Structure 1
Amino acid sequence: MEETKLGWKFPREFWVANVIELFERAAYYGMFIVLAVYLTREVGFTDVETGWVTGLFASLIYMAPTFTGTLSDKMGFRSALILAFALLSAGYFLLGLWPTKLVAVTALALIMLGGLFVKPIITGTAAKASDEKHRARAYSI
């Protein structure tokens, strides 16, 4: 029986990008779990308004990275990540600071814009950090 060797390792940038995505997704899902309750009880949205705001927020954050991939690729890994985390930090900070409707919607827009840059960066890093033979494994991680 032949032993399979995994002699190929991913570069440091690949692992840094994946850890960054892990933390970004943890922040997003942790916030999204309580978002509807926060918008209704603290900010003052009605149930219907909360449904529209959270639905639009969630749908855009999953569909729009298709369009921000080109921009983040042209900006480069570092610049796009700095922009993404500046937007995410400002958004999360504002969301918790002033519980008003305008600030909440603005904060969610900043969080969405920051999140739009993270996924293309990670996907692009996986593509650049792997060769054709190991690309499927890179994407699965």
Structure 2
Amino acid sequence: MWRQMRVTRDRSSKWFVSSDEYPYEHFASYCSGSAYFITQDLIRPLFETTRSIPFFWIDDYYITGLLPRAIRPTIHVNYLYINSLFVVNVDLVEQRFLSPFGLASLAFAHMPLSVNRLLHVWQHLMINSQSAQKYLNRTYI
């Protein structure tokens, strides 16, 4: 999870962002990575918000930063900080997602370099997503 990530203003960087695109010097909190998990109760509200929040080309920031910030007044969004920026305790990620209570409280996570374990957790989430609803105890239309 990135907190107060400085916006890259170096034109030679592939991550260059102009002041016109994003006028602030830091990004709000967001998750970075090739994969992250979003609990089922957030999917519809995040999707609906895409109609009012213009797309931002840094998709990690758009999906896990801008959109959640836009739905926060009505829906509580939790970020789970798993470990350091590049070293992730994959055991902790599995433990959180494989627990029914973890399904209810976790919004986003990042598991780099763990494709098989990521697949295992994804399969578990797909199989148990119905049972997770009883822990969420809320519905978004």
How would you bin the TM-score normalised by the shorter chain? under 0.3
Q: Of the two structures, which has the highest relative contact order with CA contacts closer than 8 Å and spacing of 6 or more? A: 1
TM-score of the superposition, structure 2-length normalised? 0.25
Structure richer in helix, relative to its length: 1
Tell me the TM-score normalized by structure 1: 0.25
